[in-house]
Amino acid sequence: MEAPPARGGRKSGWRGEWAIPWDALGPKPVPGLKVAFNLGIFRAEDEIQRCLEGTLAENWRLDQAATLLFQ
């Protein structure tokens, strides 16, 4: 399976989509809800690690996580 073109039309990179199981987590996604969020990815094929930028912390540090604000 070929990866879709990255930004700028380049044929490199990848993108992903995740579903959040709100029923299992508890809070309902309503406007104004703020949720601590962090993301870390390990790509096994080339042993690359990526993380959500902007928090300047390890991805397990939820005290320094990003915030999702629902609209």
Split at pLDDT 50, 70, 90, the class of 13 is low
Averaged confidence pLDDT in the chain: 77
For tokens 């987590």, name the residue.
25
Are the C-beta atoms of 59 and 38 separated by less than 8 Å?
Answer: yes
**Whole-number pLDDT of residue 31:** 94
pLDDT, tens digit, for every residue of 15-31? 778 788 888 888 888 99
CA–CA distance from 45 to each of 4, 18, 19, 42 (Å)? 17, 20, 23, 9
Residue 22 per-residue DSSP state = H
Residue among 26, 62, 5 at smallest CA distance from 52: 62
d(CA 33, CA 67): 10
